[in-house]
Structure 1
Amino acid sequence: MIKEVIVVEGRDDVTAVKRAVDAEVIAVGGFGINAKVIGRIKEAQKRQGVIVLTDPDFAGEKIRRIIAKRVPGIKHAYITQKEGSKDGDIGVENASPETIIRALQSAKCEIKDKREEFNVQDLIFFGLTGDNKAKERREALGRELGIGYSNSSQFITRLNNYGITREEFIEALKRIEIGEK
């Protein structure tokens, strides 16, 4: 699995990257990049490192510059316009898995073992799934840990991929429980 979190523009890019490699991926939503997304990217950079892989066009380069300006120390992966072109459309979503792998390797991505510290039983035990307040608790905990809101399955993946320790998890839960009272 790729250690760094890959940052792309949109959902189709996420699909293309996940077809090529096993990695945590953040989609910025094009120019809709906001403080919440930048916060997630900063947290990802702090915990695992970040590789930005945007479309080889003006918009992609602008998004890349915005991220690089706000999040120091990130890595950059590039594909060419030719590699990302299909039927007149240019984007990461059009690149072959081999092209994406080459771009990530050129960015000096690191490989790590897949981590499975957390599982669905943890979410059930701590009321993060299967409970009428589970969604709100996941949202609060995601905010507290800097990994954002997601459904139960994706939450487990993020906890593991971001390297959250059991101690961090418990401490963050304690802080949100204090806020609930």
Structure 2
Amino acid sequence: MIKEIIIVEGKQDIQAVKRAVEAECIATGGFAMSPYTMQKIEQAYAKRGIIILTDPDSAGERIRSFLSRRFPEAKHAFVALSEATANGDIGIEQASCEAIREALRKTRYLEWQPQEEFSGQDMLRSGLSGHPNAAARRAILGKKLGIGYANAKSFLYRLNHYGVTRADFTQAIEEMDNDSADNS
């Protein structure tokens, strides 16, 4: 059983998480969380800790951002967009059990003292921005690093704020490039 309470957006997300792992979950019900829901999340945060696992879309990111400000020591898990999309719908409820377990294995903290380890130059040199396949490369790398997909600016923020080391980054880039060379 996972110690922390997993925060998701809806009831179908709870069902998907419970199929994948043994855990307690709280559904936000979307961005307009009721005072009762916020109270439940606050209690979970204080007693057991929380893992924020929102949908990999703009609404999910807004909820994650709101909860991150309110609960700065929360953990974060990200399911890749490609693994959370089915039948024209995006959401944790669309993810496979393995994708959810993988996201939870790669749980990260939002760091209090973010490192400015990475710059826009790193993004350019690695083909993560300013490159025809930059979005696809960010999606692959985000999955490898456990920080999810994001646009270039948000991806750079995640690199610097979710504890990604230079060694992790370099290894993931090498793996990604080797994988694409093998598939060519």
TM-score under structure 1 length normalisation: 0.58
TM-superposed deviation, 1:57:
0.2
Higher RCO structure, 1 or 2 (CA under 8 Å, sep 6+): 1
Which residue in 2 is equivalent to 1:73? 73
TM-superposed deviation, 1:37:
1.4
**1:29 alignment partner AA:** G
TM-superposed deviation, 1:108:
6.0
Are the aligned partners of 1:38 and 1:70 in contact in 2 as well (CA < 8 Å)?
no
Q: Distance in 2 between matches of 1:31 and 1:73?
A: 20
Task: Trace 1:22-171 onto structure 2 (pairs within 5 A).
Answer: 22-107=22-107
Are the aligned partners of 1:38 and 1:67 in contact in 2 as well (CA < 8 Å)?
no
Q: Percent identity?
A: 49
TM-superposed deviation, 1:72:
2.3
Q: Distance in 2 between matches of 1:34 and 1:91?
A: 21
Instruction: Kindly tell me the number of residue pairs found equivalent between the two proteins.
Output: 109
Are the aligned partners of 1:16 and 1:93 in contact in 2 as well (CA < 8 Å)?
yes
TM-superposed deviation, 1:42:
1.3
- Larger Cα Rg: Structure 1 or Structure 2? 1
TM-superposed deviation, 1:35:
2.5
Q: Give the 3-state SS of the residue equivalent to 1:7 in structure 2.
A: strand
Which residue in 1 is equivalent to 2:3? 3
Q: Distance in 2 between matches of 1:68 and 1:108?
A: 12
Which residue in 2 is equivalent to 1:18? 18
Instruction: Pick closer, same or farther for the CA change 1:57–1:108 going to 2, 3 Å.
Output: closer
TM-superposed deviation, 1:34:
2.7
Q: Distance in 1 between matches of 2:52 and 2:28?
A: 10
Instruction: Pick closer, same or farther for the CA change 1:108–1:64 going to 2, 3 Å.
Output: closer
TM-superposed deviation, 1:87:
1.3
* Aligned Cα root-mean-square deviation (Å): 1.4
Unaligned runs of 5+ in 2: 110-184
**1:97 alignment partner AA:** C
Q: Give the 3-state SS of the residue equivalent to 1:65 in structure 2.
A: helix
Q: Give the 3-state SS of the residue equivalent to 1:31 in structure 2.
A: coil
